[in-house]
Structure 1
Amino acid sequence: MIKRKKQLLLVAHCVLNQNAVIRDWERAQGGFNQLVQAMLAENLGIIQLPCPEFTFSGEGRPPRTKDEYNTPAYRTLCRRLAQPVVEQAKEYQRQGYIVRGLVGIGESPSCDTLGNRGIFMEELLAMMSEARVELKTFDVPEDYLEGHGEKALLEFDCFIK
């Protein structure tokens, strides 16, 4: 019988679905296969986060800065999208699972977790903190291109191990 590893990662939507990014800004044909394969090789469960930009403005949206997204309506949407994710993480923790971390997108106005933290990640991480779910973070670098990101893959490998 196979036993669950009981370890999970929260992952920005576009790591698994580059179709959600702004047109002509995609960096893979579908998802970041090499990053996903690394997660699967570690037997980590993957919780795909919703894409707040796609939800807010659709597939054909123009590029926007963090300041342009920083509106009450967008923050409200981000909190609404984050709430079920927080509830899932809390439930997993109650059941003895380890939420290993959060994978964001560097330089994203919504999903950067490190530098100039994106709006969605600001809201999500604040809600996680309130729920006592602590997360280490990793951002897929802005210059990562599927099939040409050896340095980022090595760093990601260290992050998930």
Structure 2
Amino acid sequence: MERARGAFPFAIDLLSRGIAIIQLPCPEFLVLGGDRPPMSYEEYAALPDFRQQCQQMLQPIIQQIQAYQAEGYHYLGVIGINESPNCSISGQRGVLMEEFFEKCQKAQLNTDYLEVPTWYSEDSEGVFKEKLHRFLEKC
């Protein structure tokens, strides 16, 4: 779901605080390409080997988080996109996030999260900004 012409405005807030961002791979784009039709969670979950492809995409991310932690960096958690078939965390968790949280639990990584609401846009940050600041209180 495209909600910003580029990075979400809150990403600038994160970077200005010295917080690094590791972007998760987009399985929708990597598996089906940019010219894909809109699909639901159920359709992605039913694709042959889609979960396995998500797992393979996530493995280097998990290793990267572990390497950063081994160097003394603090991992805050993950930011999801509400109602995305792959990146939603609350409600029906997306396919990619199901796999991400499972890998985090196995690796004993923090599973704190922040979720970008469906109404969020470049022009309307609303109460999300407050949630973001609460999420960042850990750093």
TM-score normalised according to structure 1 size: 0.80
Structure richer in strand, relative to its length: 1
Map of 1:9-158 to 2, 5 A cutoff?
21=1, 26-32=2-8, 34-71=9-46, 72-158=48-134
Structure 2 letter corresponding to 1:48: Q
Q: Percent identity between the aligned chains?
A: 37
Structure 1 letter corresponding to 2:126: E
Once superposed, what is the RMSD of the aligned Cα atoms?
1.2
SS at match of 2:77: strand
Q: Which runs of 5+ in 2 are unaligned?
A: none
Rounded Cα–Cα distance in structure 1 between residues aligned with 2:28 and 2:45: 12
- Which runs of 4 or more aligned residues in structure 1 lie more than 3 Å from their structure 2 counterparts after TM superposition? none
1:113/1:121 contact within 8 Å kept:
yes
The count of aligned residue pairs is 136
SS at match of 1:48: coil
Rounded Cα–Cα distance in structure 1 between residues aligned with 2:111 and 2:19: 15
- TM-superposed CA distance for 1:41, in Å, is 2.5
1:114/1:137 contact within 8 Å kept:
no
Structure 2 letter corresponding to 1:102: V
TM-score normalised according to structure 2 size: 0.91
- TM-superposed CA distance for 1:132, in Å, is 0.9
1:82-124 residue CA offsets vs partner (Å, 9 max, x unmatched):
0000101111122221101100100111001222111001101
Q: Which runs of 5+ in 1 are unaligned?
A: 1-20
- TM-superposed CA distance for 1:150, in Å, is 2.0
Structure 2 letter corresponding to 1:136: D
- TM-superposed CA distance for 1:135, in Å, is 2.2
Rounded Cα–Cα distance in structure 1 between residues aligned with 2:90 and 2:66: 23
Rounded Cα–Cα distance in structure 2 between residues aligned with 1:155 and 1:139: 9
Rounded Cα–Cα distance in structure 2 between residues aligned with 1:95 and 1:129: 20
Rounded Cα–Cα distance in structure 2 between residues aligned with 1:63 and 1:157: 32
Rounded Cα–Cα distance in structure 2 between residues aligned with 1:90 and 1:149: 31
- TM-superposed CA distance for 1:42, in Å, is 2.0
